[in-house]
C-alpha cells in the first residue's frame, strides 16, 4: 500500500512535499524481546525500493504498522531524550502519529524537531544511505533542515521513522541520534498511547477497515489500494478513486472550509459535505469522530474524485455510500 497524496486530496500533496511520503501496512504481532543494536552510522549496501508485487512487511516484528499505531510519539520525545540536544520545550502532537518540539540547543540556538512514525518514504537514487540503530536509513537535506528516515517496512510500501530537524548546527547528527534512541525504545519498551483511548481511530488501518466488495462495486472493478501514511488510504480504479483519512484537527463545524458546506446526517452522525472542482471533480465529507480538547479531536474525511473530464458521476452519492459502509467499522467513541 503506497500513496503520495493522490489527486484525491490536494492537501496531502502539500504535506508530501515537506518530507517523504508515508503509510501503513499489515504485520504480525511484535516480539518485543530486548535486542541490542549499537549505534552505527556506516554506509548501507542497498536502499530498499518499492516492490509493487510484494506485500508490505516489517523489517522486524516490533515495527509492524499495527504496533507503531499503538505507540505514543510524544512520549518518545520526552524531556529525558531531548535534553541530550539542549533545553526542550513541551512536546506537542501535530498529527495522529507525529510529535514536534520547538526547543533551544545548549547555546540558545533554535532547534526544531518533528518525529513521524510510519511515514511512507520515497528513496531517491542520490540519497545518502547509512545504518542507524541497526536499520537502513536515508538522509536528505534542504538548507538547515535534515530528514533522517529509518526504514521499518519494505515491499509495496516503504515506511519508516522520520526525524525532521531544522537547526543551524548539525541537524543530521541530531536526527540520527534521535532515531537511534527511538528505534531501540520501540524494540524494547515502546511507550504506548493512554489506556483511556477507547474508541480512537488511532488503532485503525484505513486501508483494511473498508469492505473490499463495496470498494469494487463503487469503482466498477478491483481497485489499487495505496496510502500516504498510517492514517490515509486511497482506493483507485482508472479515473475514479476515493480516499479515507483520519486526522487530528479542529471540529469540522468550526472549519472555515465548511462555511458553505451542506450539513447531512447519516446514521445519526452530523457530516459536512462540500463539492470541489479546483483540481478534479470531488465530493468531500467529514465529521468529528471523537472530541479531545479545545475544540479539536479525531476527524474522519471521505473524498470521492473523478479525474476524467466530461464524464458525469454522482460523486456525493458515491461518497455517501463510502460513509455508510465505513461508519459501522469504526470503533465507538
In a domain, residue 4? The reply is no
C-alpha cell at 105: 540547543
Enclosing domain of residue 299? 205-329
In a domain, residue 197? The reply is no
CA atoms within 13 A on the CB side of 22: 30
What CATH number did the domain enclosing 273 receive? 3.40.1000
Same domain, 216 and 167: no
Same domain, 99 and 62: yes
Confidence at 110, pLDDT banded by 50, 70, 90: very high
Strand partners, 247: 299
From the number of C-beta atoms within 10 Å of its C-beta (0-12, 13-18, 19+), residue 289 rates as buried
Of 136, 157, 188, the one marking the end of a domain is 188
Same domain, 181 and 107: yes
Q: Specify whether the CB–CB gap between 325 and 210 falls below 8 A.
A: yes
SS3 81: helix
In a domain, residue 194? The reply is no
Q: Specify whether the CB–CB gap between 329 and 213 falls below 8 A.
A: no
36 has a pLDDT exceeding 50: no
Same domain, 39 and 178: yes
pLDDT tens readout for residues 114-150: 999 999 887 766 678 899 999 999 999 989 999 999 9
In a domain, residue 5? The reply is no
Strand partners, 135: 132
Confidence at 46, pLDDT banded by 50, 70, 90: low
Same domain, 275 and 146: no
Q: What is the pLDDT of residue 22?
A: 34
In a domain, residue 7? The reply is no
Of 154, 188, 222, the one marking the end of a domain is 188
Same domain, 115 and 264: no
Q: Which residue has the higher pLDDT, 54 or 62?
A: 62
Same domain, 108 and 29: yes
Of 158, 188, 218, the one marking the end of a domain is 188
4 has a pLDDT exceeding 80: no
For helices 212-219 and 315-326, the axis angle rounded to 10 degrees is 180
In a domain, residue 19? The reply is no
Q: What is the pLDDT of residue 295?
A: 78
The percentage of residues in the chain with a pLDDT greater than 70, rounded to a whole number, is 83
Q: In the chain, how many domains are there?
A: 2
Q: What is the pLDDT of residue 253?
A: 93
In a domain, residue 20? The reply is no
Same domain, 220 and 311: yes
pLDDT tens readout for residues 245-279: 999 999 999 998 899 999 999 999 999 999 988 77
281 has a pLDDT exceeding 80: yes
In a domain, residue 123? The reply is yes
Same domain, 247 and 175: no
Same domain, 149 and 268: no
Same domain, 175 and 215: no
What average pLDDT score do residues 147-155 get?
Answer: 93
Same domain, 217 and 149: no
Q: What is the pLDDT of residue 35?
A: 40
Q: What is the pLDDT of residue 48?
A: 64
How many CB atoms within 10 Å of residue 78?
Answer: 16
Q: Which residue has the higher pLDDT, 211 or 194?
A: 211
Amino acid at each position: 500500500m503506497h500513496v503520495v497524496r493522490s489527486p484525491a486530496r490536494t492537501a496531502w500533496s502539500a504535506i508530501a512535499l515537506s518530507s517523504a511520503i508515508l503509510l501503513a501496512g499489515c504485520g504480525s504481532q511484535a516480539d518485543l524481546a530486548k535486542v541490542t543494536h549499537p549505534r552505527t552510522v556506516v554506509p548501507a549496501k542497498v536502499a530498499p525500493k518499492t516492490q509493487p508485487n510484494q506485500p508490505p512487511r516489517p523489517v522486524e516484528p516490533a515495527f509492524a504498522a499495527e504496533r507503531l499505531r499503538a505507540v505514543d510519539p510524544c512520549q518518545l520525545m520526552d524531556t529525558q531524550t531531548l535534553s541530550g540536544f539542549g533545553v526542550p520545550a513541551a512536546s506537542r502532537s501535530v498529527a495522529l502519529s507525529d510529535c514536534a518540539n520547538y526547543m533551544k540547543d545548549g547555546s540558545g540556538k533554535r532547534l526544531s524537531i518533528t518525529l513521524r512514525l510510519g511515514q511512507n518514504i520515497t528513496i531517491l537514487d542520490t540519497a545518502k544511505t547509512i545504518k542507524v540503530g541497526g536499520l537502513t536509513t536515508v538522509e536528505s537535506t534542504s538548507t538547515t533542515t535534515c530528514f533522517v528516515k529509518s526504514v521499518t517496512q519494505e515491499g509495496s510500501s516503504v515506511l519508516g521513522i522520520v526525524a525532521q530537524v531544522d537547526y543551524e548546527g548539525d541537524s543530521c547528527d541530531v536526527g540520527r541520534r534521535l532515531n537511534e534512541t527511538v528505534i531501540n525504545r520501540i524494540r524494547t519498551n515502546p511507550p504506548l498511547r493512554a489506556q483511556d483511548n477507547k474508541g480512537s481511530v488511532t488503532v485503525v488501518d484505513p486501508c483494511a477497515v473498508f469492505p473490499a466488495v463495496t470498494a469494487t462495486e463503487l469503482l466498477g472493478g478491483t481497485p489499487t489500494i495505496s496510502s500516504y501514511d498510517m492514517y490515509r488510504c486511497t482506493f483507485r480504479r482508472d479515473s475514479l478513486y476515493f480516499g479515507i483519512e483520519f486526522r487530528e484537527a479542529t471540529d469540522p463545524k468550526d472549519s472555515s472550509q465548511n462555511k458553505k458546506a451542506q450539513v447531512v446526517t447519516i446514521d445519526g452522525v452530523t457530516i459536512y459535505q462540500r463539492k470541489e472542482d479546483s483540481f478534479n471533480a470531488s465530493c468531500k465529507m467529514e465529521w468529528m469522530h471523537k472530541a479531545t480538547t479545545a475544540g479539536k479531536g479525531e476527524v474522519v474525511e471521505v473524498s470521492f474524485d473523478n479525474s476524467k473530464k466530461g464524464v458525469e458521476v454522482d460523486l456525493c452519492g458515491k461518497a455517501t455510500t463510502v460513509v455508510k459502509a465505513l461508519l459501522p467499522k469504526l470503533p465507538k467513541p
